[in-house]
Amino acid sequence: MTHSYSITVTVNGISYKRSVEARMLLSDFLRHELGLTGTHVGCEHGVCGACTILLDGESVRSCLLFAVQADGHSIKTVEGLARDKDDLHPLQQAFWEAHGLQCGYCTPGILMTLVPFLEQNPKPTEDEIRHALSGNLCRCTGYQHIVDAVRLAAEKLRD
């Protein structure tokens, strides 16, 4: 007999109240319960970084948290970055301009990793950028353009 737990979570500024099984991963909650499919699911054991989101402003793997743990917390997903499709977040704009994505599967996780990184390191060196990206796998192996995009994003965010 599986029990349901009532949770209230704020995602991209909107408060959601839902009933979930304890075993539901936060990544599945975002995708299946809230329909926010921008958060991607890759390995589901904390290695690939595709499901990275912000929990109370900090980057975390949403596949390594249960939705029930997010009760009362505030989440930001990739859907919360752009104001609309013609007004991208500077980080997204930089990825667009510098060809920082190929298939795009890893992109949402990388963007959510980089938001707090660039807040804390507005002028990162290439070494720091590569370190910051070490927890996100790009299966197209397009890292060079990703690094270029981060550099461009840092410039845009500083302006």
Partner 1 sequence: MKPAPFEYYVPDSIEQALDLLREHGAAARLLAGGQSLVPTMNFRVIQPEVLIDLNRVGELKYIRDDNATLHIGAMTRERELEFDPIISSRTPLLAEAMPHVAHPQIRNRGTLGGSLANADPAAELPVVMLALGARLKVRNLNAERWVDARDFFVGMFATDLAADEILVEIELPATSSHTGWSFMEVAPRAGDYALMGVAALVTLDEDRRCKQARLVYLNAGDGPLEARAAGTALEGKIPDVESIDEAADLASQKDINPFGNLHASPEFQRHLARVLTRKSLKLAIERAHEDL
Binding site for partner 1 (CB under 8 A): 2-3, 5, 21-23, 25, 28, 44-46, 49, 52, 55, 58-61, 63-66, 68-69, 113, 117, 130-132, 134-135
Q: What is the Cα–Cα distance from 13 to 48, expressed in whole angstroms? A: 27
Q: How far is the CB of 67 from partner 1 (least distance, A)?
A: 11
Q: How far is the CB of 152 from partner 1 (least distance, A)?
A: 21
CB 91 within 8 A of CB 115: yes
- Residue 41 phi, psi (nearest 5): -115, 120
Q: How far is the CB of 97 from partner 1 (least distance, A)?
A: 26
Q: How far is the CB of 86 from partner 1 (least distance, A)?
A: 30
Q: Give the three-class secondary structure for 74.
A: strand
Q: How far is CA 21 from CA 1, 10, 14, 65, in A?
A: 11, 18, 21, 13
Which C-beta is closer to partner 1: that of 66 or that of 95? 66
Which C-beta is closer to partner 1: that of 90 or that of 116? 116
